[in-house]
């Protein structure tokens, strides 16, 4: 049924193609139209692009896995970063935590959620 619908829509779209004209007037302004524009300094006819080839019929897609299936843990999440990288990350998180607890930091949208995220990330530093 989908193939039939696609063919019908393509057949109806074919007559809709029109010849286009590109016109550059005396001021250098470019205009596009489906009719010739009087007073053009430069006029060029633009050929319509060829119609797209019909897409091949696709096989039915298998049903998706249930959403409750556990996702595999990415390799990057299981590896421990080098000590100097971990120390730099911890320092940045502590600075962010201090800033979030300041007056300016409390104005951040979703402040409570961001503080919880920083504290959770700091759990790897202790």
Give residues with Cβ within 8 angstroms of 125, minimum separation 6: 86, 89, 90, 93, 94
Q: Tokens 């039939």 belong to which residue?
A: 4
Q: What is the reported pLDDT for 95? A: 92
In this predicted structure, what is the pLDDT of residue 91? 92
Does residue 22 register a pLDDT over 80?
yes
pTM of the model as a whole: 0.38
Q: Using 50, 70 and 90 to split pLDDT, how confident is the model at 49?
A: low
Phi-psi category of residue 110: left, alpha or beta, with phi > 0 → left and psi -120 to 50 → alpha? left
Confidence grade of residue 58 (pLDDT, cut at 50, 70, 90) = low
CA–CA distances in Å: residue 53 to residues 11, 50, 57, 59? 12, 9, 12, 18
Q: Which of 14-18, 26-30, 77-81 is the least confident region? A: 14-18
Q: Averaged over 5-25, what is the pLDDT? A: 71
Q: φ, ψ for residue 94 (rounded to 5)?
A: -65, -40
Partners of 95 in the beta sheet? none
Domain residue ranges in the chain = 17-46, 78-122
Please determine, for residue 77, whether its predicted confidence score (pLDDT) is greater than 70.
no
Residue range 101-126, pLDDT digits in tens: 998 888 888 889 989 998 988 888 87
Would the CA dihedral through 108, 110, 113, 117 be positive or negative?
Answer: negative
Comparing CA positions, the residue from 61, 72, 19 lying closest to residue 44 is 19
Average pLDDT score over the chain: 77
Judged against a pLDDT cut of 60, whether residue 40 lies above it is answered with yes
């Amino acid at each position: 049924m989908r193939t039939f619908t696609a063919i019908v829509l393509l057949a109806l779209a074919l007559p809709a193609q029109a010849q286009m004209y590109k016109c550059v007037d005396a001021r250098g302004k470019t205009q596009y139209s489906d009719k010739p524009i009087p007073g053009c300094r430069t006029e060029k006819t633009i050929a319509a692009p060829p119609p797209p080839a019909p897409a091949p019929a696709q096989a039915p897609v298998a049903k998706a896995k249930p959403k409750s299936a556990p996702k595999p843990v990415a390799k990057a999440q299981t590896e421990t970063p080098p000590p100097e990288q971990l120390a730099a990350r911890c320092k940045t998180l502590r600075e962010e935590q201090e800033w979030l607890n300041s007056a300016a930091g409390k104005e951040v949208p979703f402040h409570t959620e961001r503080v919880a995220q920083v504290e959770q990330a700091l759990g790897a530093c202790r």
